[in-house]
Amino acid sequence: MYVWTVESVSGILEFYNFPIPSLPAASSNHRPSSLPEGVQFVLNTLPVNNQNIGDGDGFTAYVATTDPRESGNVPIEVHEMVIARTEARNRRDYKSADALQSSIKEAGYKIIVCSDEEILARKYRIRMRGIDAPELKMTYGKESKSALVKLIGGKRTTIHVYEQDQFDRYVGDVYCNCAFIQEKMLKNGHAWHFTTYDKRPEFAKWEREARAAQRGLFASLNPEKPWDWRREQRSGGGIQVY
């Protein structure tokens, strides 16, 4: 049986024009000193697919493995599956190629076509920090999701990640085209300030502005709060909600 080494895998990756993993310096944590206090790292995503936007405060993003933070962390097994998939496609064994694509997805990665180029990317589930949007089954839930789609759908985002929550989502501040997305969602009444987890005064101010102008969900006299709705669903044995 042939044993894969870092050198052999790197050579094949170079041949197929896939990113070659590099070992980061021990002292490097890829965190510029200019970042706000509490930021653990920054994600620079590929364009966000509209179908990966779940609601008004959460979405799935992908980061190319050519990104310096990702390149040294891709498991060798994933690179091996990428190479095997390319070889299967070259010999037109599409059944095997599709099976390998599924295995790559199970490992938390995906081969994405971007600008007619195949890119290996890592999957991140994102929860927007400090806001809480109506759930899809709530009044204004679909409108809130549509607002987020208009802001980030098909566009690259920059995410300042602070932590992971109990559902393994990365909680962070989201920026797109020089705009702070949480600010846009709050000012236009597409989400609530999630005061249980966030005490930023500007967030409270933006929600007050939306309330005063009766924008978005605040056009209703008494809009239901998403945390109250989720609590009722859980206590009543309803659908699973996060």
Question: In percent, how much of the chain has pLDDT > 90?
Answer: 78
Q: Identify the band that residue 3 occupies on the pLDDT scale cut at 50, 70 and 90.
A: very low
- Select which of 69, 122, 135, 207 is catalytic: 135
- Select which of 122, 127, 129, 207 is catalytic: 127
Give the tens place of pLDDT for each residue, 48-68. 999 999 999 999 999 999 999
More confident site: 14 or 165 = 165
Give the tens place of pLDDT for each residue, 95-126. 999 999 999 999 999 999 888 889 999 999 99
Task: Kindly report the backbone phi and psi dihedral angles of residue 48, in degrees, each rounded to the nearest multiple of 5, phi listed first.
Answer: -80, 125
Q: Cα–Cα–Cα angle for 39, 202, 40, nearest 5°? A: 5
Q: Is 122 a catalytic residue?
A: no
* Amino acid symbol at 111: I
Give the tens place of pLDDT for each residue, 162-205. 999 999 999 999 999 999 999 999 999 999 999 999 999 999 99
Mean pLDDT of the chain: 88
Q: Which of 2-6, 149-153, 160-164, 220-224 has the lowest mean pLDDT?
A: 2-6
Question: With 0-12 CB in 10 A as exposed, 13-18 as middle and 19+ as buried, what is 145?
Answer: buried
More confident site: 91 or 35 = 91
Q: What is the CATH number of domain 41-64+120-223?
A: 2.40.50.90
- Select which of 169, 183, 215, 231 is catalytic: 169
> 149: phi > 0 → left, psi -120 to 50 → alpha, else beta; which?
alpha
Helix/strand/coil for 158: strand
Which pLDDT does position 18 carry in this prediction?
56
Q: Is 129 a catalytic residue?
A: no
| Tokens at 35, concatenated | 């970042």
Q: Is 135 a catalytic residue?
A: yes
Which pLDDT does position 233 carry in this prediction?
87
Q: Which of 3-17, 121-135, 195-209 has the lowest mean pLDDT?
A: 3-17
Distance between CA atoms of 130 and 47, rounded to whole angstroms? 23
What letter does residue 218 receive in the DSSP assignment?
G
Which pLDDT does position 27 carry in this prediction?
31
pLDDT over 80 at 139, yes or no: yes
* Residues 73-86, mean pLDDT to the nearest whole number: 96
Within the chain, what is the greatest distance between any pair of CA atoms?
70
Which H or E run contains 61? strand 58-64
pLDDT over 60 at 16, yes or no: no
Instruction: Give me the residue spans of the domains in the chain.
Output: 41-64+120-223
